[in-house]
Amino acid sequence: MRMPSPRSRRTLGLGLAALLAPSMIAACGSATAARTTSAEGARTTAAAVTPRDSAGTTGSPSPASPSASIPGQRTAPPSTAAKSPSSAPATGSPTAAPSSAPASPSATPSPTGDGRSHQIVRWTAHGGRSVALTFDDGPGPATRPILDLLREYHAHATFCLVGNEVERDPAAVRRIVAEGHRLCDHTVDHPQPLHSRPHDRQVHEIADAKQSILRAAGPGAEVPWFRAPGGDFTAENEQIAADHGMTSLGWSVDPRDWAKPGAPAIVANVQQHLRPGGVVLMHDGGGDRSQTIEALKQLLPWLQAQGYTFDFPAGG
């Protein structure tokens, strides 16, 4: 909605990186949870809880301070950024397990075969007092009610779509685009963990999902982002995404709606952890999302009252 090209403000967006410490809870996914029940959310397994995720899943205080830069982040926070980090963890995750995963790609750009580094975006395109709402695992039964709410509040969001679900409901994708929202590739079949799949399978998951989304969306559509199921980003899948013209998209706030903690808990989590320029992870697919819908009914007016504008993620 009436915002200039994200690319034109990319530098500013990147600046928020230093602030937006990753509270990447393994949202999108637990390595073992069935997609139909946990969508993004798995965060409940050790495999899914990487170091970047653990800050959010363990419920421990975030180690980041407002001025602390995240190793590997490219730029300093802009002056418009929040005075406190958005890295605050999601509220208690009783089932979260310690992670043995290697260094977080969110904190350290992943080395790539071509010598470039990739970075996982978890901040908005324009910074300032903006928020990027993202919805994963759809389209599903909750997609249309969520679109209705977004329209009611003149809000825009980014939908990280699962290819197989897109094939089942391409009309939902067309509506998403028609109403001004944007698209993100969330693999064909939401495999978890993605990194354990053979390279060719990962290419299929990422490349073919994008093609499904583009076909469904129609002429002129773009899929500028890729989000790994469960936040399972690796140098390998980030490279595959980059090769297909997509930026890896993380998040800074995971209200754990996938776990169905109750709408009030989802609302409170976002209200507690969101900082200007943040990216919020929620789900419109992967299971019963009635709590997410109820939470949005409160969060959307709250965000407006707090002076937030609805932005898209950086890198779009």
Give contact residues for Zn ion (rule: CB under 5 A): 28, 39-40, 136-137, 229
Q: How far is the CB of 228 from Zn ion (least distance, A)?
A: 8
Q: How many angstroms separate the CA atoms of 224 and 236, rounded?
A: 18
Residue bearing tokens 């980059």: 242
Q: Smaller CB distance to Zn ion: residue 81 or 209?
A: 209
Smallest distance, Å, CB 81 to Zn ion?
A: 28
Q: Which is nearer to Zn ion, 73 or 292 (CB)?
A: 292
Q: Which lies closer to Zn ion via its Cβ, residue 70 or residue 176?
A: 176
Closest distance between Zn ion and the C-beta of residue 96, in Å? Answer: 17
CA–CA dist 166, 171 (Å, integer): 8
Distance of closest approach, residue 191 Cβ to Zn ion, in angstroms: 10
**Residue placing its CB nearer to Zn ion in the complex, 45 or 309:** 45
- The secondary element (H helix, E strand) that includes residue 157 is strand 157-161
3-class secondary-structure state, position 210: helix
Residues 6+ positions from 226 with CB-CB distance below 8 Å: 184, 185, 186, 206, 210, 237, 238, 241, 244, 246, 247, 248, 249
Catalytic residue among 118, 257, 283, 284: 283
21 vs 194, which CB is nearer to Zn ion?
194
Residues 29, 41 contacting (CB under 8 angstroms)? yes
Known catalytic residue at 283: yes
Which residue, 137 or 165, is less far from Zn ion as judged by CB? Answer: 137
Q: Structure tokens of 187? A: 């693999």
Q: Are strands 247-248 and 225-226 parallel, antiparallel or unpaired?
A: parallel
Segments of 192-308 assigned E as strands: 225-226, 247-248, 278-283
- Contact yes or no for 231/192 (Cβ under 8 A): no
Q: Which residue is nearest to Zn ion (CB)?
A: 28
Residue 105 · residue 238 · CB < 8 Å: yes
Tell me the closest approach of the beta carbon of residue 250 to Zn ion, in angstroms: 12
Among 53, 136, 169, 189, the one annotated catalytic: 136
Rounded to a whole number of angstroms, the minimum distance from the CB of residue 85 to Zn ion is 25
Bridge partners, residue 313, by sequence: 124
Contact by Cβ (8 Å): 298, 263? yes
Q: Which residues are the active-site residues?
A: 136, 283
